[in-house]
């Protein structure tokens, strides 16, 4: 699923931070699967923080609401406000 080299690299990363736990290694592999596997040639000088990527600024916001400007709420007239107030209270 992740590839032998990536699993070995994740084990190496867990040893670097002295986390000898399979859950930690699985977390590294899940993050790499989500964010992209690191280049195996850059073991040193790559991601020193346990396999986590700093994703700030790498990619644009791909949210479907990016650039969406919400509408301004409708302003009630004084008459509408009083009528609504009497209905609700």
Calculate helix-pair angle for 4-16, 22-35, nearest 10 degrees: 120
User: How far is it, in rounded angstroms, from Cα 7 to Cα 29?
Assistant: 7
Where on the phi/psi map is residue 18: left (φ > 0), alpha (ψ -120 to 50), or beta?
left
Asked if 30 and 20 touch (Cβ cutoff 8 Å), the reply is no
Most confident range (mean pLDDT) of 27-36, 43-52, 68-77 is 27-36
> What does the block give as tokens for 61?
């916001």
User: How far is it, in rounded angstroms, from Cα 7 to Cα 13?
Assistant: 10
Q: What is the pLDDT of residues 37-71, one digit of tens each?
A: 887 665 544 444 555 555 555 555 566 777 777 78
Burial class (CB in 10 A: 0-12, 13-18, 19+), 38: middle
Domain positions in the chain: 1-53
């Amino acid at each position: 699923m992740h590839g032998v080299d990536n699993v070995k690299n994740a084990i190496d990363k867990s040893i670097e931070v002295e986390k000898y736990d399979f859950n930690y290694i699985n977390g590294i592999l899940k993050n790499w699967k989500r964010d992209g596997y690191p280049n195996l040639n850059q073991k040193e000088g790559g991601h020193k923080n346990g396999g986590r990527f700093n994703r700030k600024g790498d990619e644009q916001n791909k949210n479907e609401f990016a650039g969406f400007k919400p509408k301004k709420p409708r302003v009630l007239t004084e008459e509408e406000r009083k009528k609504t107030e009497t209905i609700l209270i």
